[in-house]
Amino acid sequence: MAQLQPVRGTHDLLPQDERRHRAVIDTARQTAGRYGFERVETPIFEFTEVFTRTVGETSDIVSKEMYVFEDRGGESIALRPEGTAGVARAVISNGLAQNLPLKVFYNGPMFRYERPQKGRQRQFHQIGIELIGPIQPIADVEVIACGADILDSLGILPRVQLELNTLGDMTSRDAYRAALVEYFGGFRDQLSEDSKLRLEKNPLRILDSKDEGDRKLVVNAPTFEQYLSQKAKDFFGGVTKGLDALGIPYVLAPRLVRGLDYYTHTCFEFVTTELGAQGTVMAGGRYDGLIRDMGGPDIAGVGWAAGIERLSMMLGFEPEVARPIVLAPLGEAAEAEALKLAHKLRKAGHSVDLGFSGNLKKRLMRANKVNAAKVIILGDDELAKGVAAVRDLDSGEQTEVALSELLAHLG
């Protein structure tokens, strides 16, 4: 029988990797909490319509990458490919539009059927924030600033660059869409099959194409800047002014569009050169029409998401691991006493490693392996005197401590 392996595009989070994974989540949650974002958790799967109506039927995520299945009740269900649509659905389902502004933080697994690559698997994990309600550009600034602070706390910010663009309001988008249709329509026979479909449904998506032939045509395509309404220019000016005031550096990226159809006005990415061609570590933007298009009230929103795997690969520090106390009982009577002592020490808040077998040499080797701070040695002689031998593994000093005073001695 062949040895079982994980499904392609999935991986096991073993203790060392999980520590880095958890450090990203905990650091992000604490930093976002200082901005007033509270954690929410939405289901891992939703009705497929939640994503087809929001992410966009012509997006690669929906057309090529989404895991969709029919459940036993005949409903079309999708594993979530991203987090924003689920949060927006939760706003509608729970009547949260009465509690604006709403600030939420989330983390969890996402699923996309795509070619596994560095820092991106078919089951991957994201952190994200959503700010629902405010229509002012200062909300975009706060969301970007929160993301920058999280990257800074993770030791990543100096190694990334913030790229910024505007997708304008609906007036701007309509004008730009018409210009793109006219331009790319002249090269229809040179477009990829995907982009021929995009030309009919959402020509802005052509700008995000990975096809080499498409990318050559994109170079000379009209830029959004030429079609921005004064209102859209003023909004984007408010965003850049706010970022300047906070000293957050950015570069303007006029070709930047996000791979999801619901973005308007601000879109941005924090990118790096350390992860190869796919260098985006955090990305997002404004999505004022999303909740309305899902059948909810017409309320604004802005947010971002970041891949935990990519962030953990770039983590600027090694997460601390609590150094345990190792109990080394020698003999049957000592083992019985050590079992009770381990329970007592753990109840008092200590991390305790209780070995199950081996002589003193093997137990000390185990202590070094787990980077223990101290070893408590219990043998027949110690039990007879009512003491334990406590060895400090940093100094090498060993002292006898009465069992009744052991908790006080360990602190």
Taking the domains of the chain in order of start, what are their residue ranges? 15-169+229-314, 325-410
- What pLDDT does 56 receive? 64
Q: What is the pTM of this model?
A: 0.88
Beta-ladder partners of 123: 111
Q: Please, which pLDDT band fits residue 210 given cuts at 50, 70 and 90?
A: confident
CB of 293 within 8 A of CB of 313? no
In 3-state terms, what secondary structure has residue 76?
strand
CATH 3.40.1550.20 assigned to domain 325-410? The reply is: no
Q: Which two tokens stand for residue 248?
A: 């957050």
Residue 344, pLDDT score: 93
State the pairing for strand pair 300-307/123-133.
antiparallel
Residues 259 and 59 sit within 8 Å (Cβ to Cβ): yes
pLDDT in tens, 293-323: 899 999 999 999 999 999 999 999 989 888 9
Would you say 114 and 10 are in contact if contact means Cβ atoms under 8 Å apart?
no
Q: Is 362 helix (H, G, I), strand (E, B) or coil?
A: helix
Structure tokens at 85: 């649509």
Tens digit of each residue's pLDDT (9 = 90 or more) over 59-105: 666 767 899 999 999 999 999 999 999 999 999 999 999 889 999 99
* Exposure class string for 245-259: b at 16+ Cβ within 10 A, else e: eeebebeebeebbbb
Omega cis (within 30) before 137:
no
| Residue in the block written with tokens 């957050």 | 248
- Whole-Å CA distances, 115 to 8, 79, 118, 121, 366: 9, 17, 10, 8, 41
Could you tell me the two tokens for 383? Answer: 């039990």
Cβ 374 vs Cβ 390: under 8 Å: yes
Q: Is there a contact between 363 and 411 (Cβ–Cβ < 8 Å)?
A: no
- Given strand 102-111, what is the order of strands in its sheet? 38-39, 102-111, 123-133, 300-307, 280-286, 264-271, 161-166, 251-252
CATH 1.20.20.10 fits 15-169+229-314, yes or no: no
- Give the per-residue pLDDT at 327: 92
User: Distance between CA 149 and CA 144 in Å, rounded?
Assistant: 9
